[in-house]
Structure 1
Amino acid sequence: MKPQLKTGVPDYKIPSLEPLLLKELTATAGGNLKLKITNAIIHGSSDFSLTKLKASLETLTFTVDVDLPHLSISGNYDINGRIILLHIRGNGPMQGNFTNCKAVVKLQMKEFKKEDGESYLKVAELKTKILVVQDGALRLQNLFDGDPVLGDAVNSAINSNFNGFVTEIKPAVENAISKAFIDIANGILQQFPYKMLFPES
């Protein structure tokens, strides 16, 4: 299915991964940070590699190791809070690049019957764990109401301590990504009966 995921198949509700469009990602890191990204355009997600798959049809659990060599994202952000000992406030356009990302995705599915009498699968739970982001860069425009001195200083601080920034926001981003992809996965799965997905089972 990987070639199909790159371009998408609208008839089967399979979205294009190149680019991947996400209307909203909302992330919170405890009570310290609130981050919302809207109208995100993500390039590079179709270049994923599945390096490991563990599946159990008895329990309908699936664990997938994913490598993404390069991701770029643009969109609009709204951020307020404290991270890497900095207070950050602003909203506006953003751009980011992330290289050599590794993640594990765990899915718990369940079987159900539709009106046609066929059995289908749906994702009951999806958890994303980001293991590695080797490098990257981020640019947030219009920080502190467009103050150029503060904005440049905070962007410089984020990029000079990029791994620390990613570590602090990672749990919140993992949760936001997991919620977004449950809807995408279920939209795809409901197009195909169980026996079509696993004909030998």
Structure 2
Amino acid sequence: MEERVVLAALQEYGRTGWSGFTMDAVARRAGVGKSTLYLRWPSKEVLIRYAIVQHSEPLTLTDNGSLREDIMALATSLMRYFLDPAGWASLRITMDEAAEHTDLDRVHAHLIAMHREAASTLFQRAIERGELTSDAPIRTITEALYGAVLMHILTLTTDERAAAVEHIDEDVAPIVELLLATIAAAASSTTDAV
């Protein structure tokens, strides 16, 4: 029952965002009584926090041996995450928190920390391998990667999003290649200037 409720909460939040998210709607979607929800989660804030934390595992990436392979792995994980109800709901939480106070600032902070840590680890390895300089604009590179993956997903229709799980590597490869070309060009122009 708990897993049904958690999934229903993620789907409902992903569909409506903060303003339309209600315990009634979650109970209907999960096929349980509203009183059952309130026994476990005293408010919609507590429920969505719980659901997001349960389904937003940290993005931990193994060392794939190169910046290209590490970025490819992160982009693939990101796309898979954003195609999942938890990822979609986390995107809505981020947008809602930016637009208005939602009482979800701790969830928002958890999501930001999870993503920053994964990217930071990836780029630190690249610096240690000599693939990036220590003054590389890591935050900008991270935002470019996240932004490109997210914009790609937002341009897909509902049917295309459902099918995208089958060919994630094909979808993220051009994004990764463009990002790597941009990093290489920036590094080259910095070297030429010196």
TM bracket (short chain): under 0.3
- Higher RCO (Cα < 8 Å, 6 or more apart): 2
- Is the strand fraction higher in 1 or 2? 1
- Is the helix fraction higher in 1 or 2? 2
Normalising to structure 1: TM-score of the pair?
Answer: 0.24
Normalising to structure 2: TM-score of the pair?
Answer: 0.25
